[in-house]
Amino acid sequence: MATWEKIKAFLKVDDALAPGRNHHVDALKGFTIICVVFAHSIQIHHPNFNENRVYLIMFTWAMPLFMLLSGFILSLQLKNTLLGYLKKNTLRLMVPFFAWALVTYVLFHAAQGGNPLAYLWNVVKAPGSGLWFLWVLFINSTFLFFVLKLVEINHWTRWENYFVIAAILVSRLASADIFALSEVKVYFPYYAAGFFAYKYYDFLKAKRKIFYAVALIIFPVLVFGYRRNEFPTFYPMLQQIFGETGIARLIVSIYKYVVAFAGMAFSSFLLELVRKSRIYAVVCWVGTLSLDIYVCHANFLFLPGFGEGGWRYFSVGVMAILGSLALTLLVLKRFRVTRMLFLGEHR
């Protein structure tokens, strides 16, 4: 028992369940990053992962929910000045983004004699080759923080929601592939939705059973027609009905957001079912380390795994999660310089 208590103290398991934290948000973070890792395991090892139904189910909502949960806490940062927040956000997101990019360069490109600055510039132009989520999160958070700070400084609070909606519409103009602007276009609405989720949290919590009931009905139906880089399976039918008017594409755009939000509600419902179990406590703890797992897990995705098919993807995912936790807790968090460079922690 004493040994287990020492392990819990070292891992700071009790901190995840401390009063004052929103445990369900932590649980959602934990569940989401677990699904992200398993989805990436399938993506790396499945020869035709775009046709894998498990991958597609997780892909529809996992990264959008990760972005939403990041936006959920933005309101707590408004006490900072714009420059103060920019500095804090740069240390938290951009320093690890470039640090891990340099690790990739040293491991896979330095032997070829390439210029490291040129490599970093290429990563900036195409962040998908690195930790793109950090890059997109930095842009989204900085943009929305600026909008909310503008509202606060000018005492336009009564119109705050309209400014955020206007920001969402502006983000839809970011269609270029360079600098991950196309990903900003896709993910900023989810980040802004996180702001609204925090603002109206009590309402959402009170009405959650209604949202769960709707999600349980529509998510299994909607996700069946989902395809990752193509129009959904029902798109030809929409074309027959609406022709080339553009309505069919509009419906598809709305469909992608609806299926994502339905998947989020579905995952929240699943966590509600295990709220009183040890599984929930473990997932909450993992949630407190979700961003750390994200930045580390790619280092372990190329392990061979065990068995074939689903067992192989599962084993690689488990090893990636455990490896990320070990790397984070036993190495990166142990030294101030590694905490700052690779995890964005400046304490």
Pair of tokens at residue 78? 């408004």
Tell me the per-residue pLDDT of 151-176, one tens digit each, with 9 for 90 and over: 999 999 999 999 999 999 999 988 88
Instruction: List all residues 6 or more positions away from 157 whose beta carbon is below 8 Å from its beta carbon.
Output: 151
* CA dist., res. 86 & res. 256, Å (int): 31
Tell me the per-residue pLDDT of 218-262, one tens digit each, with 9 for 90 and over: 999 999 999 888 899 999 999 899 887 789 999 999 999 999 999
Domain count for the chain: 1
Q: How far is CA 55 from the centre of its chain?
A: 15
DSSP conformational letter for 288: T
Q: Is residue 245 part of a domain?
A: no
Q: Is residue 140 part of a domain?
A: yes
- Please say whether the beta carbons of 288 and 26 come within 8 A: yes
- Please say whether the beta carbons of 293 and 286 come within 8 A: yes
Domain range for residue 129?
A: 73-206
Ranges 107-111, 195-199, 265-269, 271-275: which has the least confidence: 107-111
Q: Is residue 191 part of a domain?
A: yes
Q: Is residue 292 part of a domain?
A: no
Output the CA–CA distances (angstroms, integers) from residue 183 to 20, 96, 249, 293, 332, in the order listed.
33, 19, 18, 21, 29
Q: Is residue 166 part of a domain?
A: yes
* CA dist., res. 251 & res. 231, Å (int): 11
* CA dist., res. 91 & res. 80, Å (int): 15
Tell me the per-residue pLDDT of 61-111, one tens digit each, with 9 for 90 and over: 999 999 999 999 998 898 999 999 999 999 999 999 999 999 999 988 777
Average pLDDT over residues 202-207: 96
Average pLDDT over residues 144-151: 96
- For residue 142, pLDDT over 70 is answered with yes
